[in-house]
Amino acid sequence: MKEISKLSLLLPLALLIAAVVQDMNMLSTSEHSLTSIYIREYFVIFSLILSFPLVYKQKWASDRNVLRGLRSLFFLILFTCFLLILSNDRLDSFSDFDLDKNILYENIANYIFVLSWTFFSTIFILITLGTLRNLIYIKRKKSTARNFTWLMIFLVIYPLFNMPESFKYMNWVNNDNFEKLHYVILFIIINLMVINSFRVAWINYLNRKQKLACFWGGLLLIPIQLYFGYKFHSINPVEIFSPVLGKFVDTSIIFLTIYIVVAFLALLAHLPTAQLYDRKIRQISSLHHLSRAVSSEFDIEKLVVTIVKLTKEVTESDFSWLELEDFTTKQINLVSSINLREGEMRTRVPSADDPLAAWLKTNKEPFLNNQTSKSQVVKNLCKWKKDLNSLLVLPLIKGEDVIGFLYAGKKVEFGFEYDDADMLRAFCEQAVVAIENTRLVEESIIKERLEQELKIAHEAQMKLLPKDMPELKNVEMDAVCITANEVGGDYYDFFEIDPDRLGVVIGDVSGKGTSAAFYMAEVKGIMEALAKANQTPKNLLIPTNETLYRNFDRKTFISLIYGIIDTKNKNFIFCRAGHCPVLMASPGEDNCKLLEPKGMGIGLDAGNLFERSLQQLKMPLKTGYVYLLYTDGLTEARNKTGEEFGEERLSKAFTSVKDLSAHEIKKRIIHDIYTFFDGENATDDMTFLIIKGL
C-alpha cells in the first residue's frame, strides 16, 4: 500500500466527491435532466477508472506471503458482511420507497447512509480486486496479466448498460441491438471471471497445516459470501446513488464469490496430497542437507553418522544403519547406526553369504519388503532384529562393485513405499561419492580425484556467471573473470530490477578452490532472490549480510560492490562492502577518480556494525562517464620480479583507454596485465567489470 501515490488516491476521491455534489444539487433543485445525470455518471466513471492503481499496486498478497493476503481477504469479507447485517433493517426499508430518491432522501440520515455505503463498498471492492489480482498473478503465465486486465475493462464496460434509460437509446443503436450487445458483454465477462478464477496456483505454496486452516476458513466463508452476495444484489445501496457504480460493485462481488468457490474446490482437490507434499519437501530438504554436509566432509566417522541420521529423516524410519566394506580386509562391517540397541550392535555380524546380501550384490537394486516375517530373504535379519517389520535396503555401488549397504527399518508393516526407494537411491549416490572421497584422502590419492572434481566445479562456476552482457539503453557494459586455479571465489552478476534499472554486483570470497566456489554460489542465490524486493543497494546488502553471517564460518567473508544502474535518471548508485575502490573516468578529465565509500565485508558482523558502516554513493552515468569495478587480483598481480601491478598502473591503463568502447577497454586492460606478467602465471583470480554511459 505504501507504493500507491497520494495523487492516485486523491484524484478519484475528488471526482467521486464531485459526483456527490452534483447529485445533491440535482436533489435540491429537483432537476433530473439528462445533462445533469450525464455529469454525475461521468464523474463516477472517471473516478472508477482512476481508482485502478489501488487494484494494481497494493501488496496484500504475494508468493512469499500468501497467508497474509488470504487472511486480509477473509476478515475484510467478514467485517463487510457484519456491517451489512447491522444495516439490514434500514436497507429493507428502502424497498418501501421503490428507490424514489426524492422521497428516500427527504431524511438526511438516509442520504448519509447511502453515501457511506457507496464509499465503503467502493473501497472494499477495489481492495478485494487488488488482493485477488495478487493471488491470481502468483506463478503467472504470459496470458495471466492479459486476462485479468480484460476482466477489469469489462467490469467497467458492463455497468454502462445499467445507466438511466436515456443513455441506452442512441441514434446508432435500437432497443433490440442494445439488448443483444448487453448479453454479449455479459457472456464475455462471465467467461473472464471463470478463467481468472482458475488461477489458484497459490495453493501450492501452502503446507498441510495451512491448507487445513484454509479449508475450515472456507467452510465458514463460503455461506457468508453467498449470503453477502445475495443480500447486496437484492438491495444495492450503491445503485441508489449511481447505477453505474452500483452495477460495478455488484458484478465485482459476483466475481469474488466465483473465485472463492473455485479456490475452495481446488483446495479440496489438494488436501488428499497435502501430507505427501509436505513429506516430499522434508525429503528434499534432507537431501539438500546431505549434499552440503558431504561436499566438504572428509572425516569418515563424521560422514557415516550424517548419512545414517539423514537416511532416517528421508524415509521417516524407526531405525537405520550403515554397513561398509573395509578397504583392506574386504570385510563388511557395521560402521554407524541410529536407534539400534547396544546388544544388537554387538551381535550384528554381516556376512557375504547372507541371502539378503547376495540378492543385493546380484541385482544391485533397492530391496523393499513390507512384511519381513513372510520373507525368506530377510529371515536372518529378522532373527537379529525382532521388531523389524518393514525393511528398505539399498546397495552402495562404486562402479561395478558393491561397497556397502544402507538400511532403513520400521516397526510397523507396510511402512515404506516405492518412492521412498527412489528418493533413497539419489541419497545413496551422493553418499557413495562422499565415502569414496574420504577413502581417496586416506590412500593419499585425493589430489587426482580433486583435480577432476575441480574441473567439474570450474564448469559449474562458469555457468553461474552471466553468459551475455545485458543490453541497456544508453549504457554499455563488459566484464571478464579469469580464475588463477580451476575454481576461484571471484564473482559478478546482473539482476533486472525493472525495465529502467539493473543491479550489478562484483565480489571476492575469501580463499580459493571449491569452498570459495560453493560460497560464491550461495551468495548468488541469496542476492538474486532479494534483488527485486530491495530497491536500493544498501537495503539489499543488509539482509544479505544477515543471512550469510548465519551460514558462513567465522573464517570466511566476502567483499563486494553492489550497485544499481538507473538508465532513466542516468546515474549509478552503489555500496562498497569492504571491496576494492571503484575507478571513475569522466569526460574532459585527464585522470580517473578513486571512489571509496565506507563499508565492511559481508560475513564479518551480525548486522548492527555492518549497517552503520555501510555508505551509499550516487554518481552520474551520462555520456562519457566510465566506471571500472575490479577485484584485488588485478592490483596484486605480480611479475617475475615480484612487483605488483598496483592501483596507479591500473588507473593509468584505464584512463588511457576511457574513450574506447567497453569491449575495447576490457581487451586493452587484459593486454596490459599480461604484458606486465611477461609469461608469469596469475596467483589470484582477476575479475573486472566496465560500465560506460553513452
Q: Is the pLDDT of residue 28 over 90?
A: no
φ, ψ dihedrals at 73, nearest 5°: -65, -40
Q: End-to-end CA distance of the chain, in Å?
A: 36
Pairing between strand 626-630 and 582-585?
A: antiparallel
- Would the CA dihedral through 460, 462, 467, 471 be positive or negative? positive
Q: What are the b/e assignments for 602-637, b being 16+ CB within 10 Å?
A: bbbbeeeebeeebebbebebeeebbbbbbbbbbbbb
Burial grade of 167 (CB within 10 A; 0-12, 13-18, 19 or more): middle
Provide the pLDDT for residue 285.
Answer: 67
- Percent of the chain beyond pLDDT 70? 82
Calculate the alpha carbon distances from 384 to 357, 391, 558 in Å.
15, 13, 53
The predicted structure's pLDDT at residue 93 = 67
At 424 the pLDDT is 80
Confidence at residue 247, expressed as pLDDT on a 0 to 100 scale: 86
Would you state the pLDDT for residue 572? 95
Measuring CA to CA, which residue among 508, 317, 351, 499 is closest to residue 420?
A: 317
The pLDDT of 568-573, averaged and rounded, is 93
* Residue 166 binned pLDDT confidence (cut-offs 50, 70, 90): very low
Provide the phi-psi class of 299: left if phi over 0, else alpha when psi is between -120 and 50, else beta: beta
* Domains of the chain by start residue, with CATH: 64-274 (no CATH), 300-444 (3.30.450.40), 465-693 (3.60.40.10)
- Residue 417: its pLDDT value, please? 81
- Greatest alpha-carbon pair distance for the chain in Å reads 108
Q: Give the mean pLDDT of the chain.
A: 81
**What is the average pLDDT across 410-426?**
82
505 touches 562 (CB < 8 A): yes
Count CB atoms within 10 A of the CB of residue 155: 23
Per-residue DSSP letter, 543? H
Of 201-210, 630-639, 648-657, the range with the lowest mean pLDDT is: 201-210
Q: Does 627 have pLDDT greater than 90?
A: yes
* Whole-number pLDDT of residue 296: 62
- 559 or 99, which is more confident: 559
Q: How do residues 304-320 score in pLDDT, each as one tens digit?
A: 888 888 888 778 889 99
The confidence score (pLDDT) of residue 680 equals 76
471-508: pLDDT as tens digits = 888 899 999 988 766 556 788 999 888 888 999 999 98
Give dist(CA 317, CA 312) in Å, integer. 5
Question: In a 3-state reduction of DSSP, which class is residue 521?
Answer: helix
Helix (H, G, I), strand (E, B) or coil at 567: coil
- pTM score, two decimals? 0.47
Q: Are 238 and 118 spatial neighbours (Cβ–Cβ below 8 Å)?
A: yes
Q: Which amino acid is at 137?
A: Y
